[in-house]
């Protein structure tokens, strides 16, 4: 099957396994407009690939995804149309990932930040490199953690632990992510690709209908629990996107990045 996606998100593989690679390595796979749109579209295309049975999601280079591209996010300050489209697509990314009938293995090869963390954690199985970390810095830049963190982290890990990391934006190192239930298991960095492929091969041999239906039932818990909090989170994030505090903190970050 031919995938209709920009080069910032690639799909490779033959037989039953597809590897989806976030492909902006020079920018630590930060999410720009093209990548955000592709992340919303790829799951339906994978579902339509009649030969595919399992998906591995990973990042090119040394990061899984460093979160939102600062130039792209800054454009929302004066472009409400682009801002609102990003919110719509953000909801679509989460909904389509949960709806995808194929099991998705996240091979978290480096930092997974913001939306990158949300996407990784929503995968069916999360293998995290021992040198990788998760983080959701929305609050630190004056935003509500609306694209997933505030809505679904409390479904996976104790709320008291969730609050601290969401409120501060602190890194969650790989071992702690496993302890909290935000990752399945930690893998040595040089073994991560092979470990993900071995697991994908095992899943590809399982009866397809039984596996996909089991995923659908399991994800009903997430979809039903997320319905209210996710909608509220995105609505609140839009409000904070327009705040003077967010504008100020975002501009400081951009200046730091240029040095």
Nearest residue to 153 via CA among 173, 129, 127, 180: 180
**pLDDT score for 228:** 86
Residue with tokens 């302890």: 179
Q: Establish if 56 belongs to a structural domain.
A: yes
**pLDDT score for 227:** 81
Phi-psi bin for 61: left (phi > 0), alpha (psi -120 to 50), beta?
Answer: left
Q: What is the DSSP string of the chain?
A: ------TTEEEE-STTEEEEEE--GGGTT-B-HHHHHHHHHHHHHHHH-TT--EEEEEESTT-SB-SB-HHHHHHTTS-HHHHHHHHHHHHHHHHHHHH-SS-EEEEE-S-EETHHHHHHHHSSEEEEETT-EEE--TGGGT---TTTHHHHHHHHS-HHHHHHHHHH---EEHHHHHHHTSSSEEE-GGGHHHHHHHHHHHHHTS-HHHHHHHHHHHHHHHHHHHHHHHHHHHHHHHHHHT-HHHHHHHHHHHHHHH-
The encoded tokens of residue 40 equal 């919303």
Report field, pTM of the whole predicted structure over 0.85: yes
**pLDDT score for 131:** 95
**pLDDT score for 194:** 98
Q: Establish if 199 belongs to a structural domain.
A: no
Q: Establish if 230 belongs to a structural domain.
A: no
Q: Establish if 68 belongs to a structural domain.
A: yes
Report how many domains make up the chain: 1
Q: Establish if 19 belongs to a structural domain.
A: yes
Q: Establish if 116 belongs to a structural domain.
A: yes
Nearest residue to 27 via CA among 88, 57, 71, 76: 71
> What range does the domain containing 91 cover?
9-190
Q: Establish if 245 belongs to a structural domain.
A: no
**pLDDT score for 37:** 97
pLDDT string in tens for the chain (259-residue length): 889 999 999 999 989 999 999 999 999 999 999 999 999 999 999 999 999 999 999 999 999 999 999 999 999 989 999 999 999 999 999 999 999 999 999 999 999 999 999 999 999 999 999 999 999 999 999 999 877 788 889 889 999 988 999 999 999 999 999 999 999 999 999 999 999 999 999 999 999 999 999 999 999 988 888 888 888 888 899 899 999 999 898 888 877 877 7
Nearest residue to 136 via CA among 156, 119, 124, 123: 119
Here the CATH number for the domain that contains residue 93 is: 3.90.226.10
**pLDDT score for 252:** 84
Q: Establish if 161 belongs to a structural domain.
A: yes
Residue 63 near residue 120, CB atoms below 8 Å = no
């Amino acid at each position: 099957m031919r995938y209709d996606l920009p080069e910032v998100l690639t799909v490779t593989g033959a037989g039953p396994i597809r590897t989806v690679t976030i492909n902006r390595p020079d920018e630590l796979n930060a999410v720009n407009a093209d990548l955000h749109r592709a992340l919303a579209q790829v799951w339906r295309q994978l579902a339509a690939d009649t030969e595919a049975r399992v998906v591995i999601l990973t990042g090119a280079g040394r990061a899984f995804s460093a979160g939102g591209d600062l130039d792209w996010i800054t454009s929302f300050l004066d472009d409400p149309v682009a801002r609102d489209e990003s919110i719509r697509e953000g909801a679509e990314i989460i909904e389509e990932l949960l709806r995808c009938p194929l099991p998705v293995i996240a091979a978290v090869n480096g930092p997974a930040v913001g939306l990158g963390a949300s996407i990784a954690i929503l995968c069916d199985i999360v293998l995290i490199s021992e040198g990788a970390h998760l983080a959701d810095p929305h609050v630190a830049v004056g935003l509500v953690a609306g694209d997933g963190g505030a809505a679904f982290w409390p479904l996976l890990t104790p709320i008291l632990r969730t609050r601290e990391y969401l409120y501060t934006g602190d890194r969650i190192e790989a071992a702690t992510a496993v302890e909290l239930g935000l990752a399945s298991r930690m893998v040595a960095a040089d073994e991560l690709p092979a470990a993900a492929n071995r697991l994908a091969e095992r899943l590809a041999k399982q009866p397809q209908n039984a596996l996909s239906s089991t995923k659908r039932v399991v994800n009903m818990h997430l979809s039903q629990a997320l319905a209210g909090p996710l909608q509220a989170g995105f609505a609140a994030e839009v409000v904070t996107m327009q705040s003077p505090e967010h504008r100020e903190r975002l501009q400081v970050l951009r200046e730091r990045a240029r040095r």
